[in-house]
Amino acid sequence: MPETNYSTDRHLVGRAIADITGEPAEAGMLGYGRADQKTTGIHLRLRARAFVFVDPLVDRRVLLVVTDLPLIFSSITQEVLRRLAERFGDTYTESNVMLTATHTHCGPGGYSHHRLYNGSAGFRPRTFAAIVDGIIEAVEGAHEDLAPATLRLAHGELHDASVNRSRAAFDRNPQEEKEFFPDAIDPQTTLLRIDREGEPVGVVNWFATHCTSMTNRNTLISGDNKGYAAYHWEHVVEGVNYLADPDPDFVAAFAQTNAGDMSPNLGGGPGDGPTGDEFENTRILGLRQYEVAAKLAAGYMPRMAGSIDFRSVHIDLSAVTVSAEFTGDEREHRTGRPAGGAAAFAGAGYDGPTHWKTFREGRNPGWELLSRLAYRFAPSLRDAQAPKAIVAPGGLLNRIGPYVQEIVPVQLLQIGELYLLGIPGEVTIAAGLRLRRTVATALGAEPANVLVAGYSNAYIHYVTTPQEYDAQHYEGASTLFGRWELPALQQVAAQLATAMRDGSAVSSDTRAPDLSERQRPAESALPSDFPPVGYGFGDVLTEPASEYRAGERVEVEFAGAHPNHDLHRGSTYLMVQRRDGERWRTIADDSDWTTTFSWAPGPGSSSRITIAWHSPADATPGHYRIRYFGDALKTGSDRVPIGGTSPGFWIHAEDQGE
């Protein structure tokens, strides 16, 4: 029989959504490491989904924020915590706040305080502000939304949404681990459902696959497959209108876990699998994650017992002494200063190579020779980093300027019977299994209920097993702190789990430095806008056809302005409207899967804005129009709103005339 005594709910839960989309034009995109991939518009807006979980019996809470971002950096975490302290005092701290990224590779970068991730352009204040403001808005909404709730947890399996992109490295692991993952993937999908008075009002799903369905050829901002999964459940299924519903009735987050070697490109190459269309792949892979999660949500999900708890610590990952208990060779070892290997510059073949054509995964003989010479004269470096063919000595670069982070947070959250180990990096499935088992053993928890929350709170690149590290594929070469990085993190995870089990505190003598005053802002002053000769702002340059069948693509081009003047966070650059009696009803905006907003520079300082709408096959027949909203910086004046409206066009039923 279903449980109906909601008055016994132990927990309070709040949830909220906010827009965190950064600059849609001329911002270097973060993820693939290509200088030529810069934003030219929006396909799916990026969002932060915040959840506050409270146990009033012990007066403890945790805050989980799942963001449609490429990465979380300490720059974001530090500023968010500073703003939360101003607003809420000591309610939300570095110990009980987890900021985690879905790791889309199609978001604007430039928001880190470490130079490696900002490219040659430098720090981008507009994108940074959009992310922080949106996260704060989501947290404030979740805080105000707190209400009694039932927490339910279930696990399932998903086998057709990931493939191991580094199989040769994975196969070096012990037989027991390979047998645990017989298909070399982690199929576990975990769903946390939040009910109020018997009705689901929110879900968080965890599944390991990269958000690389969109390729490095794409330049439109997108939440990729996990962004689509969340959009589909919220908007398509539950009817959430992001513009009209500031307090939505349902929030669905699709979070990452140990996805380091998991690719969604099932065919073995960028944009390959299950189709040859990157947009369709994004939709299909997102839909598969949604469908398994929705099936779990619709089935029996037992009510979770357990409290809310948290532990965190900062460690200097470049100088950890790892005991023999965790190294696996009965000897003590030390991690080393960060260093990137040759294969790290090759990129991951399944998901997209970099522009560095002289590097490849595996053997790079010239760099290996140089490294062997260095190792001969530096035994401690050899013990930490061999057999890595070192190309980028991050420790040395950090003496010049802040390039990569060395002092990092590691965190453990308890939400009822679920435990989230926050790791600031990309953890392979075998490395994740070892971390999960370490925590489960210390806590006496069900191993399935312990998840690695990768991409959380900061970023250190990859975490591989020592066996995978020795292969020096992309992931191993990107394991910056050397062969003993995973054992060092296992050691820290065991300390956190033991402290949580015993109810004891964990102290940390070090913190990541605040680098906000050391930033070199990107050249962000935009020139005044001018429309193309012979046109005014908002004029239609290319009109739509007069008639379309449902399912056909409609495209309109406007004389516009640079979209970075105002990012329209929480708003839209476009509307698709249908005539409904005496009024126009908005049926799509720039947060919809069916629309794209594209910017291109014209002659001088003019801008051409292309708005496309792929009308659904079941679109209501009728009279439609497309509207554009922008902001122009005119010579000698402040920024002013501009806009335009297309001529009307008719949509006919799909089978019209057949």
Question: Which residue's entry shows tokens 């299924």?
Answer: 237
Distance CA 471, CA 173 (A): 11
| Alpha helix stretches (DSSP H) within 484-544 | 485-502
The DSSP bridge partners found for residue 51 are 15, 64
Distance CA 229, CA 288 (A): 8
Taking a C-beta distance cutoff of 8 angstroms, is the pair 64, 81 a contact? no
The residues near 203 (Cβ < 8 Å, ≥ 6 apart) are 191, 192, 193, 194, 233, 251, 252, 253, 293, 297
Between the CA of residue 411 and those of 77, 333, 421, 476, 579, what are the distances in Å?
13, 23, 6, 23, 52
Report which of 149, 450, 418, 154 is spatially closest to residue 296, judged by C-alpha positions.
Answer: 154
The residues near 656 (Cβ < 8 Å, ≥ 6 apart) are 549
DSSP 318-363: TSPEEPHHHHSSSS-EE--S--EEGGGGTEETTTEE-S-TT--SS-
Distance CA 169, CA 182 (A): 15
Catalytic entry in 162, 213, 263, 606: 263
Taking a C-beta distance cutoff of 8 angstroms, is the pair 139, 65 a contact? yes
Taking a C-beta distance cutoff of 8 angstroms, is the pair 455, 425 a contact? yes
Report which of 370, 374, 393 is spatially closest to residue 382, judged by C-alpha positions.
Answer: 374
598 is catalytic: no
Could you give the 3-state DSSP secondary structure of residue 8? helix
Taking a C-beta distance cutoff of 8 angstroms, is the pair 446, 408 a contact? no
Q: Residue 186 CB: number of other CB atoms within 10 A?
A: 27
Distance CA 597, CA 610 (A): 6
The residues near 154 (Cβ < 8 Å, ≥ 6 apart) are 190, 191, 193, 296, 297, 299, 300, 301, 302
The residues near 89 (Cβ < 8 Å, ≥ 6 apart) are none
Task: Decide: residue 245, CB within 10 A, 0-12 exposed, 13-18 middle, 19+ buried.
Answer: middle
Report which of 106, 112, 13, 109 is spatially closest to residue 55, judged by C-alpha positions.
Answer: 13
Distance CA 529, CA 561 (A): 6
Taking a C-beta distance cutoff of 8 angstroms, is the pair 262, 317 a contact? no
DSSP 135-166: HHHHHHHHHHT-EEEEEEEEEEE--SS-EETT
Edge to edge, the sheet with strand 607-614 lists: 220-221, 41-42, 595-601, 607-614, 553-560, 540-542
Q: Mind telling me the catalytic residues?
A: 263
